Amino acid sequence: MIAGPDHRAQGELLRLSTAGSVDDGKSTLIGRLLYETKQIFDDQLEAVERASKQQGADYLNLALLTDGLRAEREQGITIDVAYRYFATPRRKFIIADTPGHIQYTRNMVTGASMADLAIVLVDARRGVLEQTRRHALLASLLRVPHLAVCVNKMDLVDYSQQVYEAIEAELSEFTARLDVIDVTFIPISALNGDNVVHRSQNMPWYEGVPLLYHLEHVHISSDRNLIDVRFPVQYVLRPMNDAYHDYRAYAGQVAGGIMKPGDEVLALPSGFETRISSIDSTDGPVAEAFPPMSVAIRLEDDLDISRGDMICRPHNQPAVSQDLEVMLCWFSDTPMRQGGRYGLKHTTRNARALIKELRYRLDINTLHRDESATALALNEIGRATLRTTAPLFFDPYRRNRQTGSFILIDEASNNTVAGGMILQGS
Amino acid sequence: MAAGTAQEAILRASTFIRDDMVYSLSHLEALEAESIFIMREAAAELERPVLLFSGGKDSAVLLRLAEKAFRPARFPFPVMHIDTGHNFPEVLAFRDRRMAELGERLIVRRVQDSIDQGRVVEERGPNASRNKLQTVTLLDAIQEFEFDAAFGGARRDEEKARAKERIFSFRDEFGQWDPKNQRPELWNLYNGRIRKGEHVRVFPISNWTEIDVWHYIERERLELPPIYFAHERDVFERQGMLLSVSPYVQLNRGEEPFRAQVRFRTVGDATCTGAVRSAAATIEDVIVETLGFRIGERGMTRADDKFSEAAMEDRKREGYF
């Protein structure tokens, strides 16, 4: 039962997001993954058994494992993004579990923002619905590198290859238009466990792998940008004590590229060039730093660098601009206004932004662009132009999710009102 | 800007000539990097953070992460312990030893003082605990020092309500958490903006699980209070849990103390933290044992979460840790 003590300390981390609609079995699928990878403790299972009986269910309602807050238990719905954890000897998984019905865009965008892989569920009986296309679109907009489309409830269509292939063909045609990086289709029954962890005996015609195997083996280490060196300065370490009298290091998380001591670097906005003298961690100097390492960098020359500055390479610099073309996902009950001013956070840099023009509102069901729109309401997405109070050092979001993303903050309430992805400077 | 396919082709091609494992982190390294980023972000964006120290294993991990984030400089915040007065003596000794090693500032605020000042009333009866009372002491201390951020060691895998909590979790001027009205948290862009009197609870190890914490303790060879490892202790059984015999707990009729080999899986207030029978004497033993556990750490050893289904959610709304 128990493998060696180390066996779960080494594997990679895979972050996944799930999107689903009411009754397409998302909670059951997650419950199944947790249950079969033995993440469910006996006390949790007992609570689920009790609750299943109370609800009159004649099977173990695995969906109850993931319904967290009191209001959700009462109403039988999932309110917000919840995070779940499971591990296999190969990898550790973090699931951002988002509800499919209310606040749909807000929650799914939140979950997808960090995801390496998005699971999209399709009910085999109902086929490709508007909401299926919406899930795929949002995953593509957020540049989730891998999409796993699980055609669920195959048990209810007699495990029909024909049904599955029709759905695969229809959705493939749609995702081909979306610039999705990698799509995998898997026919499953979350309720019965077919092709979730174990290969299904009921679908011998399916030649692919079960979902969990796919999650364990999908190639993610090349998803991060290892070409363009980007180091947003987060914090300046200056001990100012006798032992480290002249020590000054720039702490942060590598957002792109591979950095080594001796590398020529350039700091923005100053434009000064110098070399990396050392890359420090508490465990000592490191030979290389790459995403997503958190390190502290010392430079050969004493430059005036502070939080919000960007360290890059002289011959590979991010774009610098105060005028941006962006996609905005609006999260607030108060609609976005043209001409509105908001706080903006991009990498470790804070600024203010003016929304100059809404170019169009995107209908996330039809992909129609409404160019007559002048505002974005809650959960709407559109393309806009921004002017910021200070230049941002950025890459297009499609090239680097860290240096291409930002949030907008309402300056009166301090709430996060939008997530944004930079298309280009303007 | 050439968002060119040529560049992307290079990007893709280069992945074939590289040894894959060289430029990827293990999950523990990735979690550590995320936690360090979160701590630095809170220290940079907020003016008066404080690190809440409970004496448990999660606090021990937080202190090490703070070293990783800020050494060779000092922590840009003090460490605070809310002392229920019902501690295991080993935990207080550990706290003082660890703080002396770190050379950082420790603030202690006592639930007993809140009781003496009439801020809270001591619970009565056999299940009396100061666990809930410490919320008032904590909020008073946050107000006293005008802290605007408090680092905590809570993890999302501990409990259902915590699974939904943000890493930067907003608290209003009453210290309350509103689970239905949380700020969206996207990418690694944490919003720490608040008004005076409000604060943010910051949870750097949100994404760690119990076993991650133990693997990290093993990797870093972190010292813990000795009660985390197997030892002989006088205990009695209550509601299926083994509680330590102590001056703070009254025995009910029929509860007979006995001696057993136990250890603690979580460490909190001595009145509501249960022990488990165990022979695990080393970190490695504990990891093996933890991998085999069939009951969650709070379900097994925390009476405070057992009283109602929504116990943790209710306490968190009021400003609990």
Cα separation, A400 vs B304, whole angstroms: 45
- Beta-bridged to residue A405, according to DSSP, are A421
Which residues of A are less than 8 Å from B306 in CB distance? none
Q: What is the mean pLDDT of residues B87-110?
A: 94
Domain assignment present for B138 = yes
Report helix angle B89-102 to B57-70, nearest 10: 0
Q: Of the ranges A56-65, A110-119, A261-270, B116-125, which one carries the lowest mean pLDDT score? A: A56-65
Using pLDDT thresholds of 50, 70 and 90, give the confidence band for residue B5. very low
**What is the pLDDT, as a whole number, of residue B243?**
87
Tell me, yes or no, if B281 comes closer than 8 A to chain A by beta carbon.
no
Average pLDDT, chain A: 88
Tell me, yes or no, if B290 comes closer than 8 A to chain A by beta carbon.
no
| DSSP H or E stretch at residue B211 | helix B210-220
Average pLDDT, chain B: 84
- Which of B27, B284, B292 shows the shortest C-beta gap to A12? B27
- Relative to beta strand A319-330, strand A416-425 is antiparallel
Chain B interface, mutation test: which of A102, A282, A397, most B Cβ atoms within 10 Å? Answer: A282
- Which of B11, B41, B284 shows the shortest C-beta gap to A227? B11
Q: Of B167, B169, B132, B110, whose CA–CA distance to B304 is shortest?
A: B132
Domain assignment present for B122 = yes
Which residues of A are less than 8 Å from B183 in CB distance? 415-416
Q: Indicate if the pLDDT at residue A62 is higher than 70.
A: no
**Count of structural domains, chain B:** 2
Domain assignment present for B5 = no
Shared domain for B166 and B131, answered yes or no, is yes
CA distance B201 to chain A (A): 16
Shared domain for B246 and B207, answered yes or no, is no
Using pLDDT thresholds of 50, 70 and 90, give the confidence band for residue A268. very high
Comparing B147 with A282, the larger pLDDT belongs to B147
Using pLDDT thresholds of 50, 70 and 90, give the confidence band for residue A22. low
B:176-235 residues touching chain A, CB 8 A cutoff: 179-180, 182-189, 191, 193-195, 206-207, 209, 211-212, 215, 218-219
Q: Indicate if the pLDDT at residue B19 is higher than 50.
A: no
CA distance B26 to chain A (A): 5
Shared domain for B154 and B270, answered yes or no, is no
CA distance B317 to chain A (A): 11
Shared domain for B52 and B178, answered yes or no, is yes
Q: Indicate if the pLDDT at residue A4 is higher than 80.
A: no
Tokens of A353: 């932004």
Contact predicate A108/A21, CB 8 Å: no
Residue type, A95: I
Global ipTM:
0.92
- The total of other beta-carbon atoms located within 10 Å of residue A101's CB is 13
Residue of B nearest to A239 (CA): B73
Using pLDDT thresholds of 50, 70 and 90, give the confidence band for residue B7. very low
Tokens of B298: 């709070």
Which residues of A are less than 8 Å from B15 in CB distance? 221-222
* Virtual torsion, Cα B179, B183, B188, B193, nearest 10 deg: -120
Residue of B nearest to A83 (CA): B163
**Phi, psi values for residue A247, rounded to 5°:** -70, 130
What radius of gyration do chain A's Cα atoms show? 24
**Cα angle B173-A413-A422, degrees, rounded to a multiple of 5:** 135
Q: Indicate if the pLDDT at residue B13 is higher than 60.
A: no
Q: What is the mean pLDDT of residues A334-349?
A: 95
CA distance A336 to chain B (A): 16
Q: In this predicted model, what pLDDT tens digit does every residue of A206-229 receive, in sequence order?
A: 999 999 999 999 998 788 899 999
Shared domain for B53 and B202, answered yes or no, is yes
Tell me, yes or no, if B28 comes closer than 8 A to chain A by beta carbon.
yes
Shared domain for B91 and B148, answered yes or no, is yes
Same fold? A12-217, A231-312: no
**Residue pointed to by tokens 């009396």:** B128
**Residue pointed to by tokens 């689970």:** B179
**What is the pLDDT, as a whole number, of residue A23?**
67
CA distance A415 to chain B (A): 6
* Virtual torsion, Cα A224, A228, A234, A235, nearest 10 deg: 120
Hey, are the CB atoms on A227 and B288 less than 8 Å from each other? Answer: no
**What is the pLDDT, as a whole number, of residue B66?**
97
DSSP A14-61: EEEEEE--TTSSHHHHHHHHHHHTT---HHHHHHHHHHHHHTT-SS--
Which residues of B are less than 8 Å from A220 in CB distance? 24
* Virtual torsion, Cα B216, B218, B223, B227, nearest 10 deg: 100
End-to-end CA, chain A: 59
**What is the pLDDT, as a whole number, of residue A73?**
52
CA distance B55 to chain A (A): 23
Hey, are the CB atoms on B186 and A2 less than 8 Å from each other? Answer: no
CATH class in words for A12-217: alpha beta
CA distance B260 to chain A (A): 24
Tokens of A346: 């991009």
Which residues of B are less than 8 Å from A82 in CB distance? 163-164
**Phi, psi values for residue A18, rounded to 5°:** -120, 140
Instruction: Report the CATH superfamily, name and number, of domain A231-312.
Output: Translation factors (2.40.30.10)
Residue A73, CA distances (Å) to A39, A85, B296 in order: 21, 20, 20
**What is the pLDDT, as a whole number, of residue B158?**
83
**What is the pLDDT, as a whole number, of residue A259?**
96
- Beta-bridged to residue A353, according to DSSP, are A342, A388
Hey, are the CB atoms on B40 and A251 less than 8 Å from each other? Answer: yes
Cα separation, B287 vs B213, whole angstroms: 10
Chain B interface, mutation test: which of A221, A224, A324, A426, most B Cβ atoms within 10 Å? Answer: A221
Domain assignment present for B12 = no
Tell me, yes or no, if B110 comes closer than 8 A to chain A by beta carbon.
no
Domain assignment present for B18 = no
Hey, are the CB atoms on A294 and B37 less than 8 Å from each other? Answer: yes
**What is the pLDDT, as a whole number, of residue B114?**
87
Q: Of B159, B94, B143, B202, whose CA–CA distance to B305 is shortest?
A: B159
Q: What does CATH list as the number for A319-425?
A: 2.40.30.10
Using pLDDT thresholds of 50, 70 and 90, give the confidence band for residue A118. very high
Cα separation, B209 vs A386, whole angstroms: 40
| DSSP H or E stretch at residue B145 | helix B134-145
Which of A65-79, A99-113, B136-150 has the largest mean confidence?
Answer: B136-150
Shared domain for B232 and B117, answered yes or no, is no
**What is the pLDDT, as a whole number, of residue A68?**
52
**What is the pLDDT, as a whole number, of residue A108?**
86
Cis peptide preceding A292, ω within 30 of 0: yes
Shared domain for B41 and B124, answered yes or no, is yes
**What is the pLDDT, as a whole number, of residue A240?**
82
- Which of A9, A398, A402 shows the shortest C-beta gap to B215? A9
Shared domain for B236 and B202, answered yes or no, is no
**What is the pLDDT, as a whole number, of residue B15?**
37
Using pLDDT thresholds of 50, 70 and 90, give the confidence band for residue A75. low
Q: What is the mean pLDDT of residues B48-52?
A: 97
- Relative to beta strand B168-171, strand B231-238 is unpaired
DSSP A124-192: TTT-S-HHHHHHHHHHHHTT-SEEEEEEE-GGGGTT-HHHHHHHHHHHHHHHHTTT-S-EEEEE-BTTT
Q: What is the mean pLDDT of residues A350-354?
A: 97
Using pLDDT thresholds of 50, 70 and 90, give the confidence band for residue B8. very low
Shared domain for B239 and B194, answered yes or no, is no
Q: Indicate if the pLDDT at residue A355 is higher than 70.
A: yes
Q: In this predicted model, what pLDDT tens digit does every residue of A361-420 receive, in sequence order?
A: 998 877 899 999 999 999 899 999 999 999 999 999 999 999 999 999 999 999 999 999
Strands (E), B198-290: 199-202, 231-238, 241-244, 258-264, 274-277
Which residues of B are less than 8 Å from A241 in CB distance? 72, 74
Domain assignment present for B10 = no
- The share of chain A scoring above pLDDT 70, in percent, equals 88
Shared domain for B65 and B136, answered yes or no, is yes
Which residues of A are less than 8 Å from B193 in CB distance? 343, 409, 414
What radius of gyration do chain B's Cα atoms show? 21
- Which of B1, B219, B292 shows the shortest C-beta gap to A2? B292
**What is the pLDDT, as a whole number, of residue A269?**
96
Chain A interface, mutation test: which of B18, B36, B67, B166, most A Cβ atoms within 10 Å? Answer: B36
Which residues of A are less than 8 Å from B266 in CB distance? none
**What is the pLDDT, as a whole number, of residue A36?**
82
Domain assignment present for B67 = yes
Please tell me what DSSP assigns to residue B80: E
Hey, are the CB atoms on B161 and A79 less than 8 Å from each other? Answer: no
Q: Indicate if the pLDDT at residue A3 is higher than 60.
A: no
Residue B57, CA distances (Å) to B53, B89, B167 in order: 10, 16, 19
Q: Of B200, B144, B147, whose CA–CA distance to B171 is shortest?
A: B200
Residue of B nearest to A98 (CA): B164
Cα separation, A381 vs A375, whole angstroms: 10
| CA A339 from centre of chain | 29
Chain B interface, mutation test: which of A6, A92, A219, A307, most B Cβ atoms within 10 Å? Answer: A92
Residue B11, CA distances (Å) to A209, B4, B97 in order: 27, 11, 50
Using pLDDT thresholds of 50, 70 and 90, give the confidence band for residue A66. low
B:149-168 residues touching chain A, CB 8 A cutoff: 156-157, 160-161, 163-164
Domain boundaries, chain A: 12-217, 231-312, 319-425
SS3 call for A317? coil
**What is the pLDDT, as a whole number, of residue A7?**
40
Q: What is the pTM of this model?
A: 0.90
Q: Indicate if the pLDDT at residue A1 is higher than 50.
A: no
CB environment A160-191: b (16+ within 10 A), e (fewer)? eeebbeebbeebeebbeebebeebebbbbbbb
Shared domain for B66 and B187, answered yes or no, is yes
- Relative to beta strand A369-370, strand A349-362 is antiparallel
Tell me, yes or no, if B3 comes closer than 8 A to chain A by beta carbon.
yes
Hey, are the CB atoms on A239 and B215 less than 8 Å from each other? Answer: no
Domain assignment present for B101 = yes
Q: Of the ranges A1-5, A166-170, B4-8, B153-157, which one carries the lowest mean pLDDT score? A: A1-5
**What is the pLDDT, as a whole number, of residue A37?**
81
CA distance B247 to chain A (A): 30
**What is the pLDDT, as a whole number, of residue B217?**
96
- Beta-bridged to residue A86, according to DSSP, are A93
Domain span at B198: 27-211+311-317
**What is the pLDDT, as a whole number, of residue B10?**
42
Cα separation, A106 vs A111, whole angstroms: 9
CA distance A121 to chain B (A): 22
- Which of B26, B69, B288 shows the shortest C-beta gap to A11? B26
Q: Indicate if the pLDDT at residue A131 is higher than 90.
A: no
**What is the pLDDT, as a whole number, of residue B112?**
87
**What is the pLDDT, as a whole number, of residue A74?**
55
Q: Of B166, B82, B164, whose CA–CA distance to B130 is shortest?
A: B82
The burial of B284, by beta-carbon neighbours within 10 Å (0-12 exposed, 13-18 middle, 19 or more buried), is given as middle
Q: Indicate if the pLDDT at residue A8 is higher than 50.
A: no
Q: In this predicted model, what pLDDT tens digit does every residue of B224-265 receive, in sequence order?
A: 999 999 999 999 988 878 888 888 888 888 888 999 999 998
User: Side-chain half-sphere of B194: how many Cα atoms within 13 Å?
Assistant: 25
Cα separation, B94 vs B83, whole angstroms: 14
Q: In this predicted model, what pLDDT tens digit does every residue of A294-331 receive, in sequence order?
A: 999 999 998 889 999 999 999 999 999 999 999 999 99
**What is the pLDDT, as a whole number, of residue B161?**
74
Q: Of A283, A288, A287, A263, whose CA–CA distance to A274 is shortest?
A: A263
